Amino acid sequence: MLATTADGHLLVLSIVVPVAGVLLSFVLSERYVRQIALAVMPVGAAIAMAILLALPRGDGFIVYLLGAWSPPLGVALRADGLSAVMLAATAIIICAVGVYAAADSPPAAGSRRVPFAFWVLLMAIWAALNTIFVGGDLFTLYVALELLTFAAVPLVSLEGRADTLRAALRYLLFALVGSVFYLMGTALLYGLYGTLDILLLSHRVSAEPGVLIAAALMTSGLLAKTALFPLHLWLPPAHAGAPAAASAILSGLVVKGSFFILLRLWFDVLLALPGFAAAQILATLGAGAIVVGSIVALRQDRLKLLVAYSTLAQIGYLFLLFPLALDGQGRLDTGPALAGGLIQAISHATAKAAMFMAVGSIYAGLGHDRITGIGGTARALPLSVMTFALAGFALMGLQPGGASLAKELLLLETARTGQWWWAGALQFGGMFTAAYVLLVLVHALSPPDQPVALAARPRRGSDLAALALALCSLLLGLLPWQPYLPIPYALESKLFGVESLVKSLITVLGGTALAILLSPWPHPLVGTMAWKDLARVLGPFRRAGLGLGGLVERGDRVLRQWPVAGICMLAVTVLLAASMFGAD
């Protein structure tokens, strides 16, 4: 029988503190909301770090029983290594975004209600995410996921423009469809086993028809909320239309909530299910997200849209872990592949939040975010461009970033499992990331047609907050992950070997080639003799690349239509169910 552990109260505090901040903000009104949020943040961060430090002392898990009732009669909060690192990463990102928003004007622009809504929603998202990370049963996770959705949707429309209201409505409706699918699967499991406690279900679930249907429903519902291709109807307009601080939260953290529940579902609850075919399907959708998201990102003329489509591509990376986590019997195993996927999620969260904040500073400084019009930005806004570059380098998988460590873990698993084709997806994904990062940097470093006149100079505090997150992502590979995640100690030497340097060089060179071939925007070198010589050699390849890019972009527009998105969601559900029934 479970019992509350010595540090169990920390799990309750991780939820109560941000909730108390929300309630106190309503009591004291908008006049003090920023001060309340900034006071809550260090307290919440300290609690997250206390959980991180307490976990090794508690034999790898912390438990708190609500009302002292054990499941299935009661509800338990649990934290393991995955929970602890996600709690800590979320606290760091929330604090950085809070500093950025406090120093920056966009979230506080307009009426007094706008900053009040921003700070309250920020704390509500934090509370919902922490509940997801420590929730011990599937219904608690459902409630937390709905709270996360209803706190995230208003962030999209904070500025009140018609396009952002439409984007928020698309997000809300599609997320609710995902919620219905998840809830139907939860009801099926409860009807079969009389409990939704994750630990109890892990010992009771078997590969029977009702469970297979529930798994397919819940998985597709969570995929819709995570915006995995082709269920990304809502993501680009929502992330691109929100204010910079809100976009940082949406891209960096909100999509990680549903992804974390998906990990809990497959690695903790559905261990007895045949997972080989379903894992291959999830990874195939992830590979499609990498290709489509990256190609469409290269064709965007606005920085925020480029970063939004980059999020779509990076989400695909996370799903490559599923087939690589299979053991010899075709069951999912909590080994290095899971660790690699989680580190990739954290690396993406920190880097993408930093990217959106840097783009927000560039937009505030220039008055626009057109890629072809940012020449000279590196000199006018050096901290913002450096932040974007460092975050981009981290996402590309350059040493010693978290993405580099994650890629090495996943590549080791491709060799162990003999699934070499996913190694190709990992390598090409890094090249695609390099392509759109280098595209932006080349334009930012190019000389302007006329002197850059800044509409406003971003405040130093916001620039430093974004830079700190970018550096965090670039240094994640140096952290001691072993107490929390199953990482081979010998892997550290691979991060700084000659082989890794060669891989990084190939990633950069491949990304340069892809940027030239797939991006339709004029290169800063156009008109020079070097460009003319290069154009003569690459002319046919570039025309083919632009044709392919146009085709992919048109396909993306079709997939983001409501009828097509609905059909895709049903198709994914049926495909997942059929794959498990066929393997049973």
Per-residue pLDDT of the chain (584 residues; tens, 9 = 90+): 577 888 889 999 999 999 999 999 999 877 888 899 999 999 999 999 999 998 877 677 899 998 778 888 888 899 998 999 999 999 999 999 999 998 765 443 445 567 888 999 999 999 999 999 999 899 999 999 999 999 999 999 888 888 889 999 999 999 999 999 999 999 999 999 989 999 999 889 888 899 999 999 999 999 999 999 999 999 999 988 888 899 999 999 999 999 999 999 999 998 878 778 899 999 999 999 999 999 999 999 899 999 999 999 999 999 999 999 887 776 777 788 999 999 999 999 999 999 999 999 999 888 888 888 888 888 888 999 999 999 999 999 888 888 888 988 898 889 888 888 898 899 899 999 999 999 999 888 888 777 777 777 778 888 899 999 999 999 988 888 888 887 765 555 455 666 777 778 888 889 888 888 888 866 555 555 555 666 666 677 888 888 999 999 999 999 999 999 999 999 999 999 998 887 66
AA identity, residue 369: D
Contact 228/99 with Cβ under 8 angstroms? no
Q: At what angle do helices 336-366 and 402-417 cross, to 10 degrees?
A: 150
| Burial (CB count within 10 angstroms: exposed 0-12, middle 13-18, buried 19+), residue 388 | buried
For the chain, helix, strand, coil in percent to 5 are 75, 5, 20
Among the listed residues 405, 404, 369, 372, the one whose alpha carbon sits nearest the alpha carbon of residue 388: 369
Rounded CA gap, 204 and 202, in Å?
Answer: 6
Contact 201/172 with Cβ under 8 angstroms? no
In the chain, where are the structural domains located?
A: 282-528
Tokens coding 177: 């469809």
